[in-house]
Structure 1
């Protein structure tokens, strides 16, 4: 130790070194972090504010329209189509005779009988004429549409006897009344009652339909003459429709005449119409004067009219028909 002359002692080098060491330790201690530092929270920058657009209002939609359920189709009489059959029957008067018959859809399946329409052809025709004109197709369409009831349509061949006789016993009348109708009603489910029978014909067949029905009005519901050729010069008053239509008590027989204005056979049937109209009392009948001539195109055009008229008194409800015992 050095002692100054004024009595103070100068610090030695050792003392100065210790002093510096103490100062250094104190400063370093303040710079050391604590043993368990608090956890550091990472910095997450805030997103920049985004401008919020005001949504555009959607148009107001009308309420949904209810979709209708598919309509149930009108049931047809059945899935089995009608058909035309060709056959023959024995005739005491004329030998074996041919015929055709239209059987409606589901024929025979419900166990009931059917009203029956007999349609006769002209003197140059066979049993094919009404078939060729399409009567079965027209009938099928109307039956499926429920315009008229299922019915049988019988198309007989007139043959030589229809062209060479005028009426009465032993004529084509006997073939129809004694042979054909009994055969049809025994062989098929035909409604064997006068209310279930109708007869009609075109040209010469119209003559025969009226000849038969006017002589046996209580055995038929309806009779039609379509362009009826009342031209038989050999027909006597007891069989000629121009006379029997006026002299016979026709009762409730429904009668239909139609013809084309340009038909060459119009005179006699028009006269019968006038005579029935002016009779006292008038004889009920339907008279239809159409445009047309004596030809197949005329009859084909009016088949729907004929079937509608013949079917009018027959019920659509099949339960109203008698049971078939075939």
Structure 2
């Protein structure tokens, strides 16, 4: 009997072990592994693969030609096959502190790293992410500081004739302080939505850390959906799981700018805001920078702080809207009212660089005061996170 019980126990142990291995995929492959010297090792178990590569923003860029011009694209590195069909690549140099994204390419097919559950979506592209800490990148991490609250909230837009969703960050202590707070409206780029600045821009982490360090004033951050035909981000609307894309109607033809007062009115009614020009800022990346430029000049008494991050400047020639008429006159009115900060940032290899050079020349010729930051790289989230940290630190002082 004792022998039988021992055999049953061994069988049960073996069965349990097999079940756990089946559940968790057997012996785990560690990837990415951040080494002590900040080199990073990527691994993928693919015993039948012929060629495995990793692509990501940690690699040297390569030039890509598009209808919008030539810009920096992601580089590639080859993994080498080792024991048990595990392919491996280690960066030859330590990586600088930053939030990085990457994917694998197996025999020409792009896949996610099955060993890394941390991913983000940029329009229709999904990538894995990891952080190398230190320096500015520590702002992108969740640290032991007071944390704000992030809400997804629906509002009515009479101008667009629909209910729409926005993402709102309120600083730590908002719920109990009874105070009124300034508001920073932060806008996404083409193809993005109200989730983009949270997932890719690390907005809540950046704001928590800047406020805790005394480098930014406590403020409300409102992240809207800049696609005026959408209720909300893909998958979060009555349309169901539609595929995200960049070719949406009502993006840069005046609808969003025309309807923006609906957003401000709702925020001032719903939250404890400082509901005046001195208590409002607006900024955005790419299309969001374009929106910020035109909204702020269309409503010159609404925003005291304006940020253009890798911004588009002027609409296509075939676009007709009252929003874009009398551009120079509206800009004159805006600057005659002396905004506290007009901030422009762009990367040296950004495809919108020349448009920003020409816009700055126009501002210079008029003697309009602005702050300018030029960084390396192109039209990338690495730059936009930098711009957010720099711009937010200058608000409402």
Match of 1:197? 280
**Structure 1 residue matching 2:174: 3-state secondary structure:** coil
> Aligned pair 1:304/2:397, yes or no?
no
**Structure 1 residue matching 2:208: 3-state secondary structure:** helix
Match of 2:150? 84
> Aligned pair 1:105/2:168, yes or no?
no
Shift of 1:277: 0.8
8 Å CA contact 2:186–2:222 kept in 1: the answer is yes
Q: Distance in 1 between matches of 2:305 and 2:146?
A: 29
Moved more, 248-257 or 82-91: 248-257
8 Å CA contact 2:282–2:305 kept in 1: the answer is yes
Q: Between the two structures, name the one with larger relative contact order (CA 8 Å, sep ≥ 6).
A: 1
Q: After superposition, where does 1:245-260 map in structure 2 within 5 Å? A: 246-250=331-335, 251-253=337-339, 254-260=341-347
Check 1:134–1:166 CA distance in 2 against 1; reply closer, same or farther (3 A cut): closer
Q: Distance in 2 between matches of 1:100 and 1:238?
A: 25
* 1:263-314 superposed Cα distances (whole Å, 9 cap, x missing partner): 00112222111111122xx0111122211201222212332112112x2x33
Check 1:80–1:284 CA distance in 2 against 1; reply closer, same or farther (3 A cut): closer
Q: After superposition, where does 1:115-194 map in structure 2 within 5 Å? A: 115-132=182-199, 133-161=201-229, 164=250, 166=252, 171-177=255-261, 179-194=262-277
Shift of 1:80: 5.7
Shift of 1:236: 6.0
Shift of 1:238: 5.6
Q: After superposition, where does 1:1-326 map in structure 2 within 5 Å? A: 81-94=147-160, 95-132=162-199, 133-161=201-229, 164=250, 166=252, 171-177=255-261, 179-233=262-316, 234=319, 239=324, 243=328, 246-250=331-335, 251-253=337-339, 254-279=341-366, 282-309=367-394, 311=395, 313-314=396-397
Match of 1:63? none
**Structure 1 residue matching 2:354: 3-state secondary structure:** helix
**Structure 1 residue matching 2:210: 3-state secondary structure:** helix
Shift of 1:201: 0.7
Shift of 1:103: 0.9
Check 1:244–1:98 CA distance in 2 against 1; reply closer, same or farther (3 A cut): farther
* 1:10-48 superposed Cα distances (whole Å, 9 cap, x missing partner): xxxxxxxxxxxxxxxxxxxxxxxxxxxxxxxxxxxxxxx
**Structure 1 residue matching 2:393: 3-state secondary structure:** helix
- TM-score if structure 2 supplies the norm length? 0.54
Check 1:263–1:180 CA distance in 2 against 1; reply closer, same or farther (3 A cut): same
Q: Distance in 2 between matches of 1:166 and 1:300?
A: 23
Q: Distance in 1 between matches of 2:329 and 2:320?
A: 11
Shift of 1:174: 2.7
* 1:206-255 superposed Cα distances (whole Å, 9 cap, x missing partner): 00111010121222111111000125212568626963564434211121
Match of 1:65? none
**Structure 2 residue matching 1:272: 3-state secondary structure:** helix
- TM-score if structure 1 supplies the norm length? 0.65
Q: Distance in 1 between matches of 2:364 and 2:329?
A: 15
Shift of 1:259: 0.5
Match of 1:12? none
Shift of 1:113: 0.4
**Structure 1 residue matching 2:176: 3-state secondary structure:** coil
